[in-house]
Amino acid sequence: MSPIPERTLNPAPTYYYTGYCPQSGKLLRLPRTQEVEQIARDLMAELSQDNRSTREGKMYGVLLVETKTNEHYSIKAFSGLLNGEAVVAGWVPPIPGRDRVAISEAATLADLATMKQELIDLDRTTEREQYRSLTVEFTAKLEKLAIAHRQRKAFRQQERERFDRLSDIELAAALDRLAAESRQDGRERRQLKQERDAILQPLQAAIDQNDDRIRQLKQQRKIRSRQLQEQMHDAYRLMNFLGTSSSLRELMPAGIPTGTGDCCAPKLLHYAASQGLKPIAMAEFWWGDGETGRKIQGEFYGACEERCQPLMGFMLAGLSTPSNLDLSIVYEDEYLIAIDKPAGLLSVPGRTIDRQDSVLTRLRELYPDICIVHRLDRDTSGILLLARDKVTYRHLSQQFEQRQTHKVYEAILGGKIELEQGSIDLPLWGDPADRPRQKVDFNLGKPSLTKFQVLRQIDSYTRVEFMPVTGRTHQLRVHAAAPQGLGVPILGDWLYGCQADVKRLHLHARELSFVHPQTLKRVEIQTQCPF
């Protein structure tokens, strides 16, 4: 642990690790603050001096904690192994459990390696190679014979066409000769096939025997691997701040992705809970060579959705978190609220427990009856309107449905376009088999209309205003990226083809105007574009 010197940094969180407490059902949050980000950057500076840390890219994490004597320290962790080692001085140790199955793991891995080598050998047998070579050879012979037979058949047909000049006796003799030739062709073909089968069948029998063994080995490997994983998942026990411990299998009964329990966040939180330390803030970042998932060295990342996020609710249980909405309210009265939604936050909660944090769930902490009038994509920032009662909700929803509102979005496109302004009229359809992606479909799509105005060209990018007339899912994103539209995706829109390494989707709902359901006056709301 490292003591934290006095710092005067902006305490405003830049991200929250969130999860619902399994006991209370409350949303728990652990922030990533500028202070802990600075601690992380100090660690990056240390890693930059060690060439070994760049050989294998991985996630690193730091956790700012408070002791029982109110001292603040930082602890650090790495995902997986560091230079081939699980335990490294100065770093949080792995979650206990793996050591309990170390002997069983070593024996299983040795058996799996032996099985793998046998599978390789079985796939490279002499019989298999001979069968492949002879099959090609006999196929060529049969094709050559077939060509010769077709030529002879054609010649016989030509002869038949001249038979009208023959006598009955000559005709009978000629037909018998042609029939004999045809039968001879058939015998030649059968003989060659019999020769083929006599040679290939013993080889096929040996191959079939090998294939049976291959299937047995693969099944054995699958069973042994599953058994080892189950042993390890039962052995890994995580502790939370209630003092409760639970195995990975208990926490993720539906299935446990490979590597769960070896990530930074679970390591840090488990260690803090087991040592009686109170978490204050946490930050995770990527360091080293890049990753196929677009991880960038030195960038901060949140909890991974597959391995870490499902554990967060349990691991944060016992923390007392203040009720802080962390939402910028740009308009509020007794009937409605408009907030400036940050990118990365859902408008409404998702279907799974790890996707419950949203604008709606946060505001319902203060306003239990609040209803969301429309939605923004998770990665889109900007004005989001909510009603505080059912009557207001119905009036505002009607305005959106009848296109009586006026919306202006600001975006940066990942390239240049030739047009200065215009309209994009392309019907959109969401394929149920390819969610959440939308596409242009002139048969199944719903009418979708967007007006646009270029604001300025910046290097190889284009800043534009979008004025959507309709409000389809991903409308602006598809209209920008589609070849029939602008043909250039919005910067940061990896779903629709942007390849740039940027932190966010560059799309912001900048302006919204509507008629107030009570005053009947037009309300115009504007926000500052954050990019």
Co-location of 211 and 242 in the same domain: no
Residue 386's pLDDT is 96
pLDDT per residue, tens digit, the chain (531 aa), is 444 444 333 344 678 888 878 877 777 888 888 899 999 999 999 999 887 655 678 999 999 999 989 899 999 999 988 887 888 999 999 887 655 655 666 777 788 788 888 888 888 888 888 999 999 999 999 999 999 888 888 888 887 877 777 777 877 888 888 888 889 988 989 999 999 999 999 999 999 998 899 899 989 888 887 777 667 666 778 899 999 988 877 887 777 676 677 899 999 999 999 999 999 999 999 998 765 557 889 999 988 888 888 889 899 999 875 454 678 889 988 899 999 999 989 999 887 766 778 899 888 877 888 999 999 999 999 999 999 999 999 999 999 999 999 999 999 999 999 899 999 999 999 988 888 899 999 999 999 999 999 999 988 999 999 999 999 999 999 999 999 999 999 999 999 999 888 889 999 999 999 999 999 999 999 999 999
What pLDDT is attached to residue 7?
39
Q: Based on the fold, state whether residues 199 and 250 are members of the same structural domain.
A: no
Number of domains in the chain: 3
At 328, the amino acid letter reads S
Mark whether 268 and 389 lie in a shared domain: no
Q: Do 458 and 339 fall into the same domain?
A: yes
**Up-side HSE of residue 337: CA atoms within 13 Å toward CB?**
20
Last residue within a domain, chosen from 184, 203, 232: 232
pLDDT of residue 281: 94
The two three-digit tokens of residue 137, written as one number: 């050879």
Q: What is 335-352 written as a DSSP string?
A: SEEEEEEPTT-BSS--SS
Domain holding 479, by residue range, is: 328-526
**Other Cβ atoms within 10 Å of 184 Cβ, number:** 12
Give a yes or no: residue 129 inside a domain.
yes
132, part of any domain? yes
Residues 173 and 244 in one domain: no
Q: Same domain for 33 and 150?
A: no
For β-strands 406-413 and 507-515, DSSP reports them as: antiparallel
Tokens of 269: 């939180």
Q: Is-catalytic flag, 211?
A: no
- Domain finish residue from 166, 198, 232: 232
What is the amino acid identity at position 355?
R
Q: Which one from 185, 340, 357, 377 is the annotated catalytic residue?
A: 377
Residue 440 contacts by C-beta under 8 Å, 6 or more apart in sequence? Answer: 426, 427, 428, 429, 478, 482, 484, 485
In a domain, 323, yes or no: no
Note the pLDDT of residue 385.
97
CATH label of the domain that carries residue 501: 3.30.2350.10
φ, ψ at 380 (rounded to 5°): -95, 135
Beta strands in 288-427 (DSSP E): 300-301, 328-332, 336-341, 371-372, 381-387, 406-413, 421-425
Residues 186 and 278 in one domain: no
**Within-domain flag for 321:** no
pLDDT at res. 481: 95
383 and 513 part of one domain:
yes
Query: Is 531 a member of any domain?
Result: no
Query: Could you tell me if 350 and 406 lie in one domain?
Result: yes
Inside any domain, residue 102: no
Are 500 and 367 in a shared domain?
yes
Largest CA distance in the chain: 124
The answer on 521 and 455 residing in a single domain is yes
**Closest C-alpha among 352, 356, 346 to residue 252:** 352
Residue 322 lies in a domain: no
193 inside domain:
yes
CA-to-CA separations, 219 to 106, 224, 380, in angstroms, rounded: 20, 9, 47
| 248 and 228 assigned to the same domain | no
| Domain end residue (candidates: 195, 214, 232) | 232
